Structure 1
Amino acid sequence: MDRKLLLVLPLVAVIVVSGCTSLDLSGIPFLGTLFGPATVKYTNDIIIIRSLEATPSTVFPGQQVRVTAYVQNQGRKAKDVAADLYDYCEGTFKDPVKECGQTTSQGTSAQIGCSDSSKTCCSMTLQPYETRGVSWTLTADKCIALDTTCPADGMKVSVGYYQETEGLTTITLLRYEEMQRQMTEGTYKETQPTRSVGEGPIKGYIGIEDKHPVAVSDENPQTVISFQLKNEGNGFLANILKSEGNKPWVNLLEGINLGTPPIGKIDTTGLDSNDSKSNCNTLSPSGGMIELIKGESPKIVCVVKRLKNDFEKQISKTLKFKISYGYEFRSSVKVTVKPKALTALPDECRGGTAAGLKGPGQPCASGSECLSGACLGEEGCG
């Protein structure tokens, strides 16, 4: 077996044990070409439905069914988780009663909590790796005469939550003279910045649009930084503020920075020697709010026009970001109403004896008995 592959196998084992969803080690010889950019990514879907069950999944008219969703937190403390039953074929199923278990105050950090008047929504805060069951009990209408699966694609449960995701990219600045020396010796090679992207379904990626390491000289004092968001989860951005006219958004709490910048700003301290000559002061066009189109934001670029060059050989800098957003995903479970064979519907479902009609087993005008409320077209039978 190739010696390189023998080295890769233990590394793959380390990746699995560490809990990272992907890892790339392009800084190690030959591994860069095997794995791509040097990126460590953590769990995408923080909140999941571990299972969704209907008990029983087939009921008789008038019988109750219990829909239970087991909601699990796969990461750190999750804020404002809301689980809601919807599109349960109201009319076919009636009188939903929710059981939420322990709940928290409604609408805390992002107003994603359920309203007090909601009959189907449960609000909660989940501790790390906690799983909580929430359930809804519904009653099938007793007047259903035919086998019915409604909705055809199942009763639906949506789960929304508020999430914050952080990330960082480490870039290397290289003195032009140092780069020339390495090229002369044959030791210079282009690399990729090292990136670490925190847990959450919306990932942010900081990139360098120039060659990396970035060569710095008086003649070439600038570089271009890019920032892009991608939806890598199994759901979608949600308008958790629930304000009319608002679109789903990602809020840039902290921009690409080397410190603690204002919201939506890039702090180029330590990277840019003259902030007034940089157009990196605003990362997004609308106060830190970034929209996603087909799962991705447009790539946002800014130019650091005058890189600091007060170092001798090379220096590494860490660029950080922090975003917040609302996220939602959905699941469904089918429930079928199946009337018992040869069982008559209650009188009130057909007009019944209260309407002056004869019920099952009573004589029809011809002297025959009503069969399941029908006298083969004869009058006087419900």
Structure 2
Amino acid sequence: MKKLEERLLCYRINLHMNQDHVWIEGKEQDIRKAIHEIILETHNLNALGEIGIELDEFDKYFLDKQLALLEETIGETINYPYDITLYTHIYMLLKRYREGDVAYLKRQEPLEFDELQLLDTNRRLANVARQIKGNIESYLNLELSEMEEFFIFQNLYSINIQERESSNVDKSLAELISNQLITSFFNISDKSLLPSCRSLYEDIYQHTLPMLSRLRSGITVENNLLEEEKVEYRDTFYNLKAIISEINKELTFETKINEEEIGYLTLYFEKYKLSKNKAKNVLLVCSTGIGTSELLKIRLEKNVQNINIVATMSQRQMKNNKAFLDENIDLILSTLRVPLNSVNLPVLTISPLLTSQDIQKINYMIKET
């Protein structure tokens, strides 16, 4: 229990116990981080065991320190299976030197020009390789061949490139999945046709990106609200489940998107539905952005419910504030009889005097968007 207590303190988690119970206290994000890292660690040890490598406590600690050194240098977490590549290389290096099996070094040719150039253009990784070589020499209390430094560098360079490629692939895949979920769920050809879709897209994308990393590592999440979500949001859940079933067929990961993940995605879609029932953020567009627009604003607030008039702009001002409109506006009401092609938002042309017919059209538009 003492070792467990020390381990948990690394995550700012306190272990408590009495005669009947054992429990922990800490922030939720710290507890989640501890669970995630311990699962990854167990997964890594199992993966090493599958290829015949059994680490003692001292070697494991040493290998972890070298991985942490690399992660600190490049500013990124090295996930499975790239961490296993480094573990395996250093472990085999330790094993060969302990057993005196280093005759292969005599057959190595000096570094070629392109290899030296690769070292020179990747000084950060080259310096880490030198540090790791020095750490191994101190750990084994013997001197390594200079060639070992380059062999370590080759592994670090390969891991860094593969990890970045994997990250880029996951980002592209997260975009595709997020787009497919939205377009399939709402039966539209492009997500831009969905009013105020940015918040929904961001929610789905920010969930999907780490989800792909979990699937790649064979990690599944728990969802304690799953059964309630199936009942409360039945239509949304099973609609998404059907869409995910098609997406899973295309994924090459052994671990697929499960119902727990679908449950979390369901909440994002329900959140979007609720937001659409709130007051609509409206932009007024007039010839100059002032004048009659103030009178129109007063009449709108008096005669139309569920609208929030965010701003009044001229057509020119609107063109110069496209990012603001995309983020904050649901509907544009314009007194100009000209097309507003510079935005991808619903636009309704109305009279500056706001007729009863205008009010009917606005109410209908608000209901539809």
TM-score by length of 1: 0.20
TM-score by length of 2: 0.20
